[in-house]
Amino acid sequence: MAHQSDLIAQDILAYLKTQEEKSMLRFITCGSVDDGKSTLIGRLLWDSKMVFEDQLAALEADSKRVGTQGENIDYALLLDGLQAEREQGITIDVAYRFFSTDKRKFIVADTPGHEQYTRNMVTGASTAQVAVILIDARKGVLTQTRRHSYLVSLVGIRHVVLAINKMDLVDYSTERFEAIRREYEAFAAGLGFDQIAAIPISALNGDNVLTRSEKTSWHQGPTLMEYLETVQVADAAGQKPFRMRVQWVNRPNLDFRGFCGTIASGMVHPGDEVVVCSSGQTSRIARIVTMDGDLSRAVAGQAVTLTLTDEIDISRGDTLASPEERPYHSDRLEAKVVWLHEEPLLPGRSYLLKAGSSTAPAQVAELKFKVNVNTLQQEAGKTLQLNEVGICSLSLGKPISFDSYRENRGTGNFILIDRLTNATVGAGMIHQPLLQPGSGHWQSLDLDKKSRAELKGQKPRVLWFTGLPGAGKSTIANLVEKKLHSLGRHTYLLDGDNLRQGLSCDLDFSDAGQVEHIRRVAEVARLFLDAGLIVLASVTSPFRSERRTAREILEPGEFVEIFVDTPLPVCEERDTTGLYRKARAGEIRNVAGIDLAYEVPENPEITVNGAQTSAEVLAEQIVRELYG
């Protein structure tokens, strides 16, 4: 099937040798729906004879059955593997294909054109070196063209092919081609591309795909394949300072301790000095170990095990780097974030940030602005919805090592993970670290929580009362505090409604407002706990994620979740403030239990039935359970 079939049959070793020595180019095709992305890749595979005999037979049969191209071959069916893709004639998922020519090997990602699949498009572009942006010659530059161009620039691709397709439908008009080229180049001037190569093609007929078309004799540039075979994409990673994130510390016996990982950039030799970015300790490379024996050098992209001349502390997630050109090491950073999940981004909510093998709790401290990827305009916003892009400030639970994405794609990216579902919800490209006043760490004081608590003769705790509005949280918490006070305990009650009169008076009741409100309550509770007090927090706190975050900022055993389980009808019946009545009438929004989901605690320390038992009895029950 391949062009090297004869060589394979005659000398398989020679064939493998030629394959090994070829350079690899990763590229992506993108564009609006029906611009011909799948057809173009199918044509590339077909013309480069990279279709197996059984695939060919299936393609001919499918083309007749689907019938979108009459009696001709429908090349798009080589890429559209999903049933829904074939039925709708669109690309939904990312499809990767490998093929090669005499000069180069290729991995191409066919990505969706529809806006709702932007996350798939970004995924496909994240590893590409060249983007082929298709434009329908009849329609010209569309909103999706601008959108995809921005996303391509966002992920760091600097070489673009402007493939103006379906030239056969505009009579191979040079005037039409030039008008589209000029319009696109004017739009893309601010996107930072190093090169834009405009090529007139007809993917369906094969014009200027592999072979030069006689119908576009006015085009003096290369064909698409000529461009892909010759474009010089600098091995930028190899030219950058050395970086390797440690994925695993390999210690099979007392005589060997190696640090395994893939080199993200640069190169190292035995004897080179390296630094552990988290601790600042330095050592030198003793050996570069691989399955095939030790190496005299290792370069970007290679997975190796490094041994050092000194026994210094290095763990999974640490970054080894060149001492002369170290990466940033900070717990605050600014980044572009592409949101990939149906649940919106909520500033203040705790996520997990994963950068290579390093994972840290992370909060989006501020959404500075959103980027309208259709117009490239900056827009104000409090959250990011699915497929939206925003510039965010992030605060991490611990420092990580990173570079700016523009300087190093390998160490400048991250993903955000939902802490409850483990779903990947966002992808980020780091701009820079953020400076912060002070040292960025808690100041050590002579008097600590233990000494203050001992003076009061008690164990500090946070009693976190959660439940629907009207469940009886504040009433029960108030009674519990009175009983503890009578027992000589030192307490303070943080009531959610009271805090919204001052500390949280600037927040609304939206999801984002609720998240920030709970974050503030949790931080205040931590300060009071540090003072040695027993803190009672009475807040609806509808989301499990924020309750979990409040628990995690305290030491084990300090957070006691008390779920006041009162059914919604009972809460509505008790409604003395008119909250539920107004929510039912549509006068107010974001009321838990009505139009805002309340996530019931999964494993609270204490659950009380707020509907069947009096608050006095429940308070007594809680105090007895906690203090005997």
Maximum alpha-carbon separation in the chain: 96
Sequence-ordered list of residues with C-beta below 8 angstroms from that of 556, at least 6 positions apart, any chain: none
Paired residues of 162 in beta bridges: 133, 198
Which tokens sit at 55? 């695939």
Handedness of CA 196, 198, 201, 207 (dihedral sign): negative
Question: How far is it, in rounded angstroms, from Cα 242 to Cα 283?
Answer: 14
Which residues does residue 199 pair with via DSSP β-bridges, in sequence order? Answer: 163
Only one residue has tokens 């798009």, namely 76
For residues 511 and 429, what is the distance between their CA atoms, to the nearest angstrom? 25
Task: Let me know the angle formed at the C-alpha of 400 by 396 and 404, rounded to the nearest 5 degrees.
Answer: 100
- Which of the residues are catalytic? 541
CA separation, residue 396 to residues 124, 260, 549 (Å): 27, 25, 13
Helix (H, G, I), strand (E, B) or coil at 165: strand
* Tokens matching residue 210: 């592999």
For the chain, the distance separating the N- and C-terminal CA atoms, rounded to the nearest angstrom, is 80
**Tokens standing for 61?**
């049969």
* Structure token pair of residue 43: 């044509």
Exposed, middle or buried, 580 (CB in 10 Å: 0-12/13-18/19+)?
buried
Q: How far apart are CA 453 and CA 459, in angstroms?
A: 6
Q: Which of 234, 228, 209 is nearest to 108 (CA)?
A: 228
